[in-house]
Amino acid sequence: MKQVLNFSIPFVVGPANNGLSFDDSSLAPIGYEDLCKLPTGTVYNVKNYGAKGDGIVDDTPAVKQALAAIKASNATGILYFPTGTYNLCPQLPQDATPWGDVVFNLAGFPMKVVFIGDGPSKTILKGFMPGLKDPKTTWKTLTTDGSEPSIERFIMFQAITSPNTPAGGFQIRSMTVDGQAGYTGNFLSGGDSTTGDGWDWFHKGVRIDGSSQVDDVLIFNSQIINFRGEIVYSGGTAAKFVGLFLSKTDSSNASCISCSTDMLIHSSDVGQDVGVYNGTENFCITAQQKMVCINSRFSGKAQGLVYIGVDGASCLIDNCDITNSGRGILFSETAHNVTVRNSRFLNNTAQAMIDSVLGLYPQGTGFSNFLIENNTFIKTGYSYLCQGYGGGYDWPGFTLRNNTVTSGALIGGSFLGTFTNFNIDGNILGDKAISTGDWAGNVALWTNNVRLPGSFIGNHEKFDEFSPTPTAIFAPISDLTFLNDNRSSPIQNAEIDSTKLHYYPVGFTTKFKIGKTNWVLKANPAWNNFSADVPVTNTTTIRFNANKLFELV
């Protein structure tokens, strides 16, 4: 028997662009229009799927339905959040991952997904855990019955890929993403399990990682705030590119931005002076990646910026403000092809810039090709400090040029390795500025044999020899070299390493001050022209002569 059935299905046709009338692409900085352009794709208005955006109800199920529609379409989708406050929360158990509970899990999205609002002051995506507001609140009080809450904290956007399953990348545009946890200044790694205070690994704004690539991730004209873990984290080489434009991040008990990827930060404020740990850190240790920071501001209780870059990677800091940090920029372990220009360093308590080798990463291959020019350093300690541990490290290519220092020192530290193309030129020492400090490298004092204007007349380079060996190698680096204690008797020979003579400009002179009286400058044609050993007294003076040897004065 033939059967006939009537059907009727509700169907909605939304307006063009589904109500999205605000194309924020017009805000893109000049020269970055293509990178910041809103992708072409179908607009999915979350309100068409039942989201309220009233800041009261949980909008997660409705928003997830809209996101599922993007996935089903298998094409670029624009998830539009009209003006409003959207409470969002991971849905358990399906949103639980080994890396935390996740609101938007984008690992299974091969297409690009754009999250867009009407502007950071109009559209707010808020973590739906009001108890997190108070850092002193215990987790148990987050539920009315006193039991442990099912969700303690969350990742708002996450893409952790599996082998052979790349993700299409995503954008966060014109909205505020609020993690609902206030900054407390507790950087304890892992956090306090009772109060939730501290650096919380499972409370991040954006997390990218995995074994397959995640295409470009762009944060544009947005705020991401109030997370106790990283605001943006990208591990390994998963992310193809992370961009931060016209955006603000703060309130993290960890570092605001922590990546190992090609990264561009433009016209943004990272840290906002609240005292986050590091403003931005980029670890380019597994690939030749690039870090570029332009027209932006950085601050961090430890460092405003941290950069690690293997040879072939590069770092450009241009027209930025690095303020109110412990150190402005830490070049840790290895860094090459670094340019810092047209930037302002203000009120960084330790140094504006420092290089340091702590042995944290075996990929480290030293430092080279630094250009630091046209910057202003105000109340920021040393503009550049070389940590130069142990025997130091080679420094091919270092230029410190046309910078202005006020209330600080131009350069310091221990340039103990071999350096070539070392240029310190055209710098201006303003009020209360010196070229180098007491604990000074030998290089900064001199340019073409002439002491730099305003350079510090060092008290002494103190040298203590506590070993029982009869010969001590010392390196005079200032006008007065202090040979202090020693344990070898009756004679302690003092020698200069002949392989380091190229450090000294002709005319370099140092007097001696001694602690114990058994120091002797050994006659050694490798570094001096003494006719016999010279017992050191408080009037002994030596000078580097035209024959590139030290002589008695």
Q: Torsion over CA of 453, 458, 461 and 462, rounded to 10 degrees?
A: -160
User: Could you tell me which stretch among 2-10, 272-280, 313-321, 432-440 binds other proteins (CB under 8 A)?
Assistant: 2-10
Binding footprint of other proteins, residue count (CB under 8 A) = 28
Burial class (CB in 10 A: 0-12, 13-18, 19+), 441: buried
Out of 22, 28, 38, 44, which residue is the one contacting other proteins (CB under 8 A)?
A: 44
Q: Which stretch binds other proteins (CB under 8 A): 41-49, 343-351, 376-384, 463-471?
A: 41-49
Q: With respect to other proteins, which residue has the nearer C-beta, 108 or 426?
A: 108
Q: Which CB sits closer to other proteins, 75 or 360?
A: 75
Among residues 458, 457, 460, 509, the alpha carbon closest in space to that of 482 is found at 460
Interaction of residue 69 with other proteins, rule CB under 8 A:
yes
CB of 14 to other proteins, least distance (A): 5
Near other proteins by CB under 8 A: residue from 4, 30, 56, 546: 4
Specify the residue, 74 or 517, whose C-beta has the smaller distance to other proteins. Answer: 74
Stretch that binds other proteins, among 11-19, 92-100, 277-285, 386-394 (CB under 8 A): 11-19
Q: What Cα–Cα distance (Å) separates residue 123 from each residue in 55, 113, 118, 479?
A: 11, 17, 6, 63
Is residue 338 within 8 Å of residue 370, measured between CB atoms?
Answer: yes
Residue for token digits 């460092």? 303
Q: Which of 21, 26, 73, 162 binds other proteins (CB under 8 A)?
A: 73
For residue 163, the minimal CB distance to other proteins (Å) is 29
The residue among 75 and 188 lying less far from other proteins, judged by its C-beta, is 75
Q: Which stretch binds other proteins (CB under 8 A): 10-18, 82-90, 142-150, 434-442?
A: 10-18
Beta strand spans in 285-320 (E): 290-294, 297-298, 303-309, 314-318
H-run or E-run covering 462: strand 461-465
Helix (H) or strand (E) run with residue 331 in it: strand 327-332
**How far does the chain reach from its first CA to its final CA, in angstroms?**
122
Task: With CA atoms as reference, report the closest residue to 120 among 174, 180, 53.
Answer: 174
Q: How far apart are CA 32 and CA 246, in angstroms?
A: 12
Q: How far is the CB of 110 from other proteins (least distance, A)?
A: 16
Chain centroid, CA 249 distance in Å? 13
Note whether 3 binds other proteins by CB under 8 A.
Answer: yes
Is residue 18 part of the contact set for other proteins (CB under 8 A)? yes
Asked if residue 82 binds other proteins (CB under 8 A), the reply is no
Q: Among 30, 31, 34, 72, which residue interacts with other proteins (rule: CB under 8 A)?
A: 72
In the complex, the residues that contact other proteins under the rule CB under 8 A are 1-18, 42-45, 48-49, 69, 72-73, 75
